[in-house]
């Protein structure tokens, strides 16, 4: 957070620091948006007069609660869960639930804050929110996951509703967990309210292409950034970090568009397969067997597995395009420098805030196309909004149609970010373009609604 803020914005940021002590990820997310807003206040002085930015930085509602549950041996455990309902100017709060031991209020607030602008960028009627728990699903049995989800929903249900707050998945929350959460919601409320959750199974209200949407969308966004420079994905070497939901479908779409993904990872280490990651093996290991990525090298003996020593990072693998799809702060300044030296030309964030601020600066200074998560990974939530549309009309669209809508949305997001960056400052600065486009849409709605 070294960039200097506009003199009107610095006091706002200092206030955020004072009111939210210790929440470093949230501070960073706010700072990054404020860095972009100087020129917006010149064009729209009413946003400063009405204190719209100060209001956006304060969540509308923050819920923190206890989740007690019993493991298979009968031992009692206590976790903490969160739902931060950040902004509902454009629609019901919308954002995923994350289960990971690193979760605390600062992580959920950073994700919820980002979500406001990301959701606005989609052009669809959804507000911003996020939730999660410090529960660690690793090593838990199916029955333990079910009991935890049911206990969590016993409190969370009262805050949800298809017109109020609509959760989805995130790290550690996939279709299995959504099933348990939704089942318990239905049981408590005695309502078949499909639109209260997204990421549901296809047989019970889910949307085709939702599972694929975030990864696919990230690759569509990458293709648009390359097109804007007269280039294309075809023939490029790609490195994707992570091997979860976002990563797997980024690999799939990159391959479909003629690129070769040569490396991916999990928190234990990474694999390099110069022949191209075999998608069938990857899906079997991660989605069916739920094993570590190291198992890939057992099936494909020519592939290398590098265990996650501090000094070795997946970003040391030379590539044309880097797609960080695992977690926050996973691509540092040092990694960015290595990628630039190795000739990387484009980076798109499938994960939320995976690149550190110095990493972003290094990419931008070197002229690397950089697509921030707010824009590049917005395809997931956009398709969630399409799932809500299908639920509301009791309809179910084909995969092809849904994917076409997703692609159109990603093309629009790219165009809006590109045009806005050019209008407000620096052509090709997608960080600026995404922050300003998303902010203006929310700020105009808030301004129209009076003092909310
Ligand atoms: P998954 O849980 O399916 O996968 C996460 C992947 O990242 C796993 O490979 C995991 O490895 C790795 N990972 C998680 N935490 C860490 C860590 N601390 N250090 C190293 N690796 C880690 O999550 P998703 O794919 O759904 O989410 C990935 C990212 O994308 C997150 O930032 C999420 O917020 C973002 N995102 C997700 C969307 C979605 O639709 N799912 C939408 C928009 C953004 P391991 O299994 O070893 O933990």
Closest CA to 113 of 448, 452, 442: 442
Q: In three state form, how does the secondary structure of 337-376 look?
A: HHHHHCCCCEEECCCCCCECHHHHHHHHHCCCEEECHHHH
Active site residue 51: no
State the Cα–Cα distance between residues 337 and 427, nearest whole angstrom: 22
Supply the CATH number for residue 304's domain. Answer: 3.40.50.720
Please name the residue whose Cα sits nearest to atom 31 of ligand 1: 351
The residue whose C-alpha atom lies closest to atom 4 belonging to ligand 1 is: 244
Ligand 1 centre distance from Cα of residue 352 (Å) = 9
Specify the ligand 1 atom closest to the Cα of 246.
25
Q: Is the CB of 198 under 6 A from ligand 1?
A: no
Which of 157, 192, 227 finishes a domain?
A: 192
Would you say residue 89 lies in a domain?
yes
Pick the atom of ligand 1 nearest to 352's CA. 32
Q: Is the CB of 170 under 6 A from ligand 1?
A: yes
Distances (CA, A) of 222 to 108, 153, 440: 27, 37, 24
**Does residue 152 lie in a domain region?**
yes
Question: Measured on CA atoms in the order 104, 108, 109, 110, is the torsion positive or negative?
Answer: positive
> Would you say the CB of residue 214 lies under 6 angstroms from ligand 1?
yes
Atom 42 of ligand 1, nearest CA residue: 380
Taking 50 as the pLDDT cut, the residues of the chain under it are none
Residue 310 and residue 178 share a domain = no
Last residue within a domain, chosen from 192, 221, 246: 192
Question: Tens of pLDDT along 357-392?
Answer: 999 999 999 999 999 999 999 999 999 999 999 999
Do 161 and 68 belong to one domain? yes
pLDDT on residue 50: 97
pTM over 0.75: yes
103 and 156 inside one domain:
yes
**Tokens matching residue 284:** 């079997």
**Residue by residue, what is the 3-state secondary structure of 240-289?**
EECCCHHHHHHHHHHHHCCCEEEEEEECCEEEECCCCCCHHHHHHHHHHC
CA separation, residue 199 to residues 235, 252, 288 (Å):
32, 19, 18
User: Which run of H or E residues covers position 2?
Assistant: none
Q: Which residues of 358-374 are buried (b: 16+ CB within 10 A; e: fewer)?
A: ebbbbbbeeebbbbbbb
Atom of ligand 1 nearest to the CA of 100: 15
Residues 109 and 188 in one domain: yes
How high is the pLDDT of residue 240? 98
- In a domain, residue 251? The reply is yes
Tell me the HSE value of 16 on the side-chain side, using a 13 A CA sphere.
28
What's the mean per-residue pLDDT of the chain?
97
Quick one: which atom of ligand 1 is closest to the CA of 210?
A: 40
DSSP string, 292-325: -GGGHHHH-TTSEEEE--TT--GGGS--SEEEE-
**CATH number (domain holding residue 122):** 3.40.50.10860
Could you say which of 130, 236, 237, 286 is catalytic? Answer: 130
Cβ of residue 383 lying under 6 Å from some atom of ligand 1: no
DSSP string, 388-424: HHHHHTT----HHHHHHHHHHHHHHHHHHHHHHHHHH
Domain assignment of residue 269, given as a range: 212-376
Of 352, 433, 358, 367, residue with least CA distance to 36: 433
* DSSP helix/strand/coil, 227: helix
Tell whether 403 is covered by a domain. no
E strand residue ranges, 22-164 = 61-70, 76-87, 93-99, 128-133
Ligand 1 center–CA 194 separation, angstroms: 25
> Does ligand 1 have an atom closer than 6 angstroms to the CB of 282?
no
Q: Is 327 in the pocket of ligand 1 (CB under 6 A)?
A: yes
- Regarding the beta carbon of 372 and ligand 1, being less than 6 Å apart is answered no
Q: What percent of the chain has pLDDT over 70?
A: 99
Calculate how far, in angstroms, residue 9's C-alpha sits from the geometric centre of ligand 1.
Answer: 32
Q: How confident is the model over 306-360, as pLDDT tens digits?
A: 998 666 899 999 999 999 999 999 999 999 999 999 999 999 999 999 999 999 9
Total domain count, the chain:
3
Evaluate: CB of 326 within 6 angstroms of ligand 1.
yes
The number of helices, as runs of H, and strands, as runs of E, in the chain is 17, 12
Take residue 176 and report the two structure tokens written for it. 């299995």
Q: Please calculate the CA angle 185-173-293 and round it to the nearest 5 degrees.
A: 155
Output the residue whose Cα is nearest ligand 1's atom 43: 377
Burial of 62 (0-12, 13-18, 19+ CB in 10 A): middle
The answer for 246, left when phi > 0, alpha when psi is -120 to 50, beta otherwise, is alpha
Residues 245 and 365 in one domain: yes
pLDDT digits (tens, 9 = 90+) for 224-255: 999 999 999 999 999 999 999 999 999 999 99
Instruction: For residue 419, report the distance from its CA to the centre of ligand 1, in Å.
Output: 30
């Amino acid at each position: 957070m070294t960039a200097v803020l506009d003199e009107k914005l610095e006091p706002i940021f200092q206030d955020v620091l004072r009111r939210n002590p210790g929440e470093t990820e949230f501070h960073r997310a706010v700072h990054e948006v404020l860095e972009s807003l100087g020129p917006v206040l010149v064009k729209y002085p009413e946003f400063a007069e009405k204190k719209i930015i100060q209001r956006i930085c304060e969540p509308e509602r923050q819920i923190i609660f206890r989740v007690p549950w019993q493991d298979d041996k009968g031992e009692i455990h206590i976790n903490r869960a969160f739902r931060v309902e950040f902004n509902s100017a454009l629609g019901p709060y919308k954002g995923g639930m994350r289960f990971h031991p690193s979760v605390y209020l600062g992580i959920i607030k950073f994700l919820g804050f980002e979500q406001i602008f990301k959701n606005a960028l989609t052009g669809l009627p959804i507000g911003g929110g996020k939730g999660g728990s410090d529960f660690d699903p690793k090593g838990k049995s199916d029955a333990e996951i079910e009991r935890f989800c049911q206990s969590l929903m016993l409190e969370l249900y009262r805050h949800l509703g298809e017109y109020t707050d609509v959760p989805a998945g995130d790290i550690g929350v996939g279709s299995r967990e959504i099933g348990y959460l939704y089942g318990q919601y239905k049981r408590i409320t005695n309502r078949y309210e499909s639109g209260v959750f997204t990421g549901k199974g296809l047989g019970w209200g889910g949307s085709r292409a939702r599972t694929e949407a975030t990864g696919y969308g990230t690759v569509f966004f990458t293709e648009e950034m390359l097109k804007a420079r007269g280039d294309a994905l075809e023939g490029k070497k790609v490195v994707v970090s992570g091997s979860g939901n976002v990563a797997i479908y980024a690999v799939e779409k990159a391959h479909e568009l003629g690129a070769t993904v040569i490396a991916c990872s999990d928190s234990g280490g990474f694999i390099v397969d110069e022949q191209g990651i075999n998608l069938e093996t990857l899906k079997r290991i991660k989605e069916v067997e739920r094993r570590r990525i190291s198992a890939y090298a057992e099936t494909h003996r020519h592939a290398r597995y590098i265990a996650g020593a501090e000094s070795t990072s997946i970003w040391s693998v030379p590539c044309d395009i880097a797609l960080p799809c695992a977690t926050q702060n996973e691509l540092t300044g040092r990694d960015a420098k290595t990628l630039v030296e190795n000739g990387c030309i484009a980076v798109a964030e499938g994960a939320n805030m995976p690149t550190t601020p110095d990493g972003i600066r290094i990419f931008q200074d070197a002229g690397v196309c950089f697509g921030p998560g707010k824009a590049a990974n917005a395809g997931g939530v956009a398709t969630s909004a399409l799932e809500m549309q299908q639920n509301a009309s009791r309809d179910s669209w084909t995969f092809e149609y849904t994917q076409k809508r997703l692609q159109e949305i990603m093309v629009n997001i790219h165009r809006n970010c590109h045009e806005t960056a050019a209008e407000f400052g620096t052509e090709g600065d997608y960080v600026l373009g995404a922050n300003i486009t998303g902010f203006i849409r929310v700020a105009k709605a808030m301004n129209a609604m009076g003092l909310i």
